[in-house]
């Protein structure tokens, strides 16, 4: 028992050494869970890291929570066998999980498959897992894909840790060089040769003591800012969070890092907003803070691209939800219903809770033998939009009764940043009443013509 306790303490120490817990969302990890969900055909994919009392999700596709208690964690069991993929085909029938709140309640886990995330030291930090709300089993290709993707997650964690350690070591080198006048030349060399943008501030007024070309370019400044207080050189920084943090670090003596931080700077002939990842580290001499080292990387293009995608997604959602006709977005080859507006839900005779995040064929099994799934996948495969008027569709009511309706529909592909179709926006108009009315009118017209044709010959016979 003591051995297990010691092993678990070592595992937790290894996990904490990555400084990954409670960090912000990162696209690299989001892409891996998106890929895992797409390959395995599941609505949920997670990167779960098992802490002492909780499991925390670095990425949680299809799930609206960022952590759960460790006692409820499937992944906590998965890491007990670090080299094996753990599959639970039907959690409702599995004695280990059938009473688990995540099985009996939201998100109603039925299927789970998790591959431990094992680092170079052999510690299982957590798992990459896929989850479904119905029983199933991964095929051989899907199992291999999850194992491969789990290694990619570990590679990204290790790379992130190494970069952090290099950054820390680089800052330490600068601090050491600043401790003596004899090392001034070494300091200048370290700063000038660094690929990262670096500036050293001295004193409460944050006088620019050293700055490299990369930082001068980033700030759109010349070397004449050396020896000047930063607010004299760049007055627009006053009252901005990035500058206020400098004062906080000078008082507290604690290093901090910030990501995707907006900073307004005079560049390109105007005041513009840039986004930066930066680290502030205090310079401490004889036990006293005498300055601050600032290392920064500009990420404006990446942030603007992400914001544009988010804004586009928001606008798309608003358009769908406010449309007067039935509209929904269906994602991936598994045809997962991502959003649906009220007119669409009315056509489907379902609530949003009954359809969102679920496969079309799961919500409406009756459409499996209808043309719609193949038509949707063909739009995804070809990227060609499709529109068909007056098509019949058989939709099952909640009580199982099949209701035949007539619809006009259009499928349009939604493309990712690489131009590849990844989802479909479907527009559906229920024209059942129109079609029925037309048919009734047609029938009435036919009945009207029939007696008239019989009446004309009889009149002729009477006249003769």
- pLDDT tens digit sequence for 351-389: 988 998 889 999 999 888 888 899 999 999 999 999 988
Indicate if 131 and 97 belong to the same structural domain.
yes
**Cα gap 434→163, rounded to integer Å:** 65
**Cα gap 212→230, rounded to integer Å:** 15
Tell me the β-bridge partners of 330. 337, 424
pTM assigned to the model: 0.47
- pLDDT tens digit sequence for 66-106: 999 999 999 999 999 999 999 999 999 999 999 999 999 98
* Domain finish residue from 124, 146, 166: 166
* First vs last C-alpha separation in the chain: 117
Position 433 scores a pLDDT of 85
Position 459 scores a pLDDT of 46
CATH number for 126: 3.30.450.40
**Cα gap 243→231, rounded to integer Å:** 9
In a domain, residue 174? The reply is no
In a domain, residue 181? The reply is no
In a domain, residue 182? The reply is no
Indicate if 264 and 318 belong to the same structural domain.
no
Indicate if 153 and 209 belong to the same structural domain.
no
Q: Which of 323, 321, 326, 324 is nearest to 429 (CA)?
A: 326
Indicate if 35 and 99 belong to the same structural domain.
yes
Cα angle value 41/46/50 (rounded, 5°): 145
Indicate if 8 and 67 belong to the same structural domain.
yes
The most confident of the ranges 197-201, 232-236, 440-444 is 232-236
**Quick one: average pLDDT of 7-34?**
90
56-65, 426-435, 444-453: which has the minimum mean pLDDT?
444-453
Indicate if 101 and 22 belong to the same structural domain.
yes
Indicate if 68 and 143 belong to the same structural domain.
yes
* Domain finish residue from 298, 329, 362: 298
DSSP state of 138: -
Residue 367: give the domain boundaries: 310-430
Position 440 scores a pLDDT of 80
In a domain, residue 435? The reply is no
Which H helix or E strand runs over 40? Answer: helix 27-40
Q: How far is CA 360 from CA 328, 339, 395, in A?
A: 11, 12, 12
Indicate if 133 and 6 belong to the same structural domain.
yes
**Cα gap 8→14, rounded to integer Å:** 10
**461 or 364, greater pLDDT:** 364
Question: DSSP E strands: which ranges in 332-434?
Answer: 336-340, 386-396, 402-415, 421-430
**Cα gap 233→168, rounded to integer Å:** 28
Cβ contact 418:405 at 8 Å: no
In a domain, residue 447? The reply is no
In a domain, residue 216? The reply is yes
In a domain, residue 364? The reply is yes
Cβ contact 86:130 at 8 Å: no
In a domain, residue 105? The reply is yes
CATH number for 419: 3.30.450.20
Indicate if 87 and 209 belong to the same structural domain.
no
**Cα gap 190→372, rounded to integer Å:** 63
Task: Give the pLDDT band (50/70/90) at residue 406.
Answer: confident
Indicate if 389 and 326 belong to the same structural domain.
yes
Helix (H, G, I), strand (E, B) or coil at 280: strand
Q: Which of 39, 196, 48 is nearest to 114 (CA)?
A: 48
Name the burial class of residue 316, with classes exposed (0-12), middle (13-18) and buried (19+) by CB atoms within 10 angstroms of its CB: middle
* Tokens matching residue 301: 């293009």
Cα angle value 419/425/426 (rounded, 5°): 145
Tell me the β-bridge partners of 111. 132
* Domain finish residue from 247, 268, 298: 298
**Quick one: average pLDDT of 281-310?**
82
Indicate if 409 and 293 belong to the same structural domain.
no
Number of domains into which the chain is organized:
3
Name the burial class of residue 281, with classes exposed (0-12), middle (13-18) and buried (19+) by CB atoms within 10 angstroms of its CB: buried
Indicate if 139 and 215 belong to the same structural domain.
no
């Amino acid at each position: 028992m003591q051995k297990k306790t010691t092993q678990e303490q070592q595992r937790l120490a290894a996990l904490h050494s990555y400084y990954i817990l409670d960090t912000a969302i990162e696209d690299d990890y989001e892409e891996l869970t998106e890929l895992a969900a797409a390959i395995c055909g599941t609505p949920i994919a997670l990167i779960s890291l098992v802490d002492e009392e909780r499991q925390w999700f670095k990425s949680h596709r299809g799930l609206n929570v960022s952590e759960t208690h460790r006692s409820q964690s499937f992944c906590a069991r998965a890491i007990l066998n670090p080299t094996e993929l753990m599959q639970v085909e039907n959690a409702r029938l599995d004695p280990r999980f059938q009473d688990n709140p995540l099985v009996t309640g939201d998100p109603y886990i039925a299927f789970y498959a998790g591959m431990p995330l094992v680092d170079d030291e052999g510690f299982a930090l957590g798992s990459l897992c896929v989850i479904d709300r119905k029983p199933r089993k991964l095929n051989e290709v899907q199992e291999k894909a999850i194992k491969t993707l789990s290694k990619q997650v570990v590679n990204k964690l290790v790379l992130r840790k190494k970069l952090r350690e290099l950054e820390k070591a680089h800052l330490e080198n600068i601090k050491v060089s600043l401790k003596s006048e004899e090392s001034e030349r070494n300091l200048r060399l370290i700063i000038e040769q660094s690929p990262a943008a670096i500036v050293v501030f001295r004193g409460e007024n944050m006088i620019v003591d050293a700055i490299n070309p990369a930082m001068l370019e980033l700030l759109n400044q010349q070397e004449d800012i050396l020896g000047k207080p930063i607010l004299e050189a760049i007055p627009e920084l006053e009252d901005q969070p990035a500058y206020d943090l400098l004062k906080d670090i000078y008082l507290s003596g604690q290093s901090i890092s910030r990501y995707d931080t907006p900073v307004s700077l005079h560049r390109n002939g105007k005041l513009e907003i840039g986004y930066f990842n930066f680290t502030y580290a205090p310079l401490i001499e004889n036990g006293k803070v005498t300055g601050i080292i600032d290392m920064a990387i500009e990420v404006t293009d990446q942030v603007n691209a992400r914001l544009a995608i988010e804004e586009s997604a928001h606008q798309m959602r608003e358009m769908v939800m406010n449309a007067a006709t039935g509209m929904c977005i269906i994602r991936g080859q598994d045809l997962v219903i991502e959003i649906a507006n009220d007119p669409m839900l009315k056509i489907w005779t379902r609530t949003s809770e009954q359809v969102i995040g679920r496969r079309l064929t799961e919500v409406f099994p009756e459409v499996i033998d209808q043309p719609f799934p193949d038509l949707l996948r063909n739009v995804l495969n070809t990227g060609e939009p499709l529109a068909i008027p007056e098509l019949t569709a058989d939709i099952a009511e909640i009580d199982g009764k099949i209701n035949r309706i007539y619809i006009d529909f259009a499928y349009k592909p939604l493309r990712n940043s690489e131009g590849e179709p990844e989802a479909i926006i479907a527009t559906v108009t229920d024209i059942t009443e129109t079609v029925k009315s037309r048919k009734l009118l047609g029938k009435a017209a036919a009945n009207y013509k029939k007696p008239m044709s019989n009446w004309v010959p009889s009149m002729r016979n009477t006249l003769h």
